[in-house]
Structure 1
Amino acid sequence: MQPLTTLDAVAVPLPAADIDTDQILPARFMHARRTDYGRYFFHDQRFDPQSGAVRPECALNRAGYAHAQILVTGPNFGCGSSREQAVHTLLDFGIRAIVGTTFGDIFFSNCLKNGVLPIRADAAFVAHVSAWLAEGPGARVKVDLPAQRVVAPDGTTIAFEIDAFSKEALAGGLDEIDVTLRLREKIDDFERRHGPGRT
C-alpha cells in the first residue's frame, strides 16, 4: 500500500445520505479484474446506464473536481453489503481519505485495511466543508494523519480519532500481513521455544 501521512488535495462533496456499496461499485463489476478498477467507481451515477454517456450533473464528472483525492460524504456512507471491492474501486479512482459523520461498519474497516482513511467528523463541520466545496469546485482540504486533524478550505480545523494500529499501518503503507511480518523474529523465537516437542 502507498503510505498516507498528510494529504492536501481537491475534495468532492457527495452529501446524500445512505450511499451504499452497490452505488459505489455496482454488483455486475465485482468480479472484474482489478485493472483500471477505478472506472467502475459510482459507474451508474457517472454514466447513463443505457447509452453510456457521461452525466454532467454528477459531481464526480465536473472539471473542478477532477483528480479529487478526498470525499466529503453524507451520513451512513458505505452502508449495505460488505464487498471489499467497493474500497478497491474507490482507491483505484484516486481517493485516499473520506470525511463524513458516519460510515457502514464493515466499509469503515475495509477502508483502513486497504489504505483509505475514513474520518468521522461532527455534522456541523461536514456541512461547512461540503458548502465550501459546492460553491467552489477545486477547493482543497488538508488531512494530517500524524496530527489527526482535518483543515477545511477556509482554515477551519477539526481533530479526529483513529486507533494506534490503523494509524501506524496507514502511515507506513502496511497491510495486516506486513505488520505481522515485522514480528517475524519474535514469531520464530516463539516457535523455537514452544514448537513440537517443546513444553
Structure 2
Amino acid sequence: MDKFEKLTGIAAPMPMINIDTDMIIPKQFLKTIKRSGLGVNLFDEMRYKDDGSENPDFVLNKPAYREAEVLVAGDNFGCGSSREHAPWAIKDFGIRCVIAPSYADIFYNNCFKNGILPIALPQEQVDVLMKDAEKGANARMTIDLEAQTVTTSDGESFSFEIDPFKKRCLLEGLDDVGLTMEKVGAIEAFEAKAAQERPWV
C-alpha cells in the first residue's frame, strides 16, 4: 500500500450530503476483484450522460479538477452498502484524501486499508475548505498527516484527530497484509515449534 505522509494538491468541492457508496461506484461495476481500473467509473451516474458522454457540469469533469487529489464533501460521506470498491475507485482516480464532517463507519475504515486519508472536521471548517476548493486548480490544499493539519491555499490551518494506529498504518503504508508480514518472524517460529511438537498435524 502506498504511504501517506504529506500531500499538496487540487481539492474538488462536492457540497452534497449523504453521498453513498452506490453513487461513488454503482453496483454494475462490482464484478471485478481488482483494485485498479475503477477510477473511470467513479461517480459514474453523475459523471456521464445516458449516451456515455461526459457531463460537463460534474465537478471532476471540469478542467480545473481533473487532477484532483483531495475531495471536500458533505456530511455522512460513504453511507449505504459496505462495498470496498468505493475506496478502490476513489484511489484509482487519484484522490488520496477525503474531507467531510462525518463518514459511514465501514467506508471510513476501508479508506485506511486502501491508502486514503479520510479527515473529519466540524462543518464550519469544512465550509471554509469548500470555499477554498471552489477557487479551482490554482488553489492547492496541503494535508500533513504527521502534523495532523489541513492548510488552505491562503495559509489557514485546521487540526484534525486520527486514531494513532491508523495514522501509523498510513504513514508506513501498511494494510492488513503488511501488518501480518511484520509478524512473519514470530509466525515462522510458531510454525517450526508446532511442527516439532505435533509432526502428525
TM range (shorter): over 0.9
Q: CA deviation at 1:193?
A: 5.8
Query: What aligned pairs does 1:29-40 form with structure 2 within 5 A after superposition?
Result: 29-32=29-32, 34=34, 35-40=36-41
Q: CA deviation at 1:187?
A: 3.1
What amino acid sits opposite 1:45 in the alignment? M
Q: CA deviation at 1:127?
A: 0.3
Secondary structure of the equivalent of 1:98? strand
* Residue aligning to 2:136: 137
Segment of structure 1 superposing worse, 153-162 or 75-84: 153-162
Segment of structure 1 superposing worse, 187-196 or 87-96: 187-196
Secondary structure of the equivalent of 1:51? coil
Q: CA deviation at 1:190?
A: 4.4
Q: CA deviation at 1:119?
A: 0.4
Secondary structure of the equivalent of 1:99? strand
Superposition TM-score, scaled by structure 1 size: 0.92
What amino acid sits opposite 1:147 in the alignment? A
* Residue aligning to 1:21: 21
Root-mean-square deviation (CA, aligned residues, Å) is 1.7
**Correspondence 1:163 to 2:163:** yes
- Structure 2 spans left out of the alignment, 5+ residues: none
| Matches of 1:196 and 1:119, distance apart in 2 | 48
1:32-67 deviation digits (Å, cap 9, x = unpaired): 46452200100111101x211211111111111121
Segment of structure 1 superposing worse, 25-34 or 52-61: 25-34
Superposition TM-score, scaled by structure 2 size: 0.91
1:168-197 deviation digits (Å, cap 9, x = unpaired): 111111211111211222333445567774
| Matches of 2:193 and 2:32, distance apart in 1 | 45
Secondary structure of the equivalent of 1:154? coil
* Residue aligning to 1:57: 57
What amino acid sits opposite 2:89 in the alignment? T
Q: CA deviation at 1:150?
A: 0.7
Deviant stretches of 4+, over 6 Å: none
| Matches of 1:167 and 1:84, distance apart in 2 | 20
Q: CA deviation at 1:93?
A: 0.3
Q: How many residues are aligned here? A: 196
Segment of structure 1 superposing worse, 89-98 or 177-186: 177-186
Contact 1:129 1:153 in 2 (8 A): no
Query: What aligned pairs does 1:57-136 form with structure 2 within 5 A after superposition?
Result: 57-134=57-134, 136=135
| Matches of 1:176 and 1:44, distance apart in 2 | 31
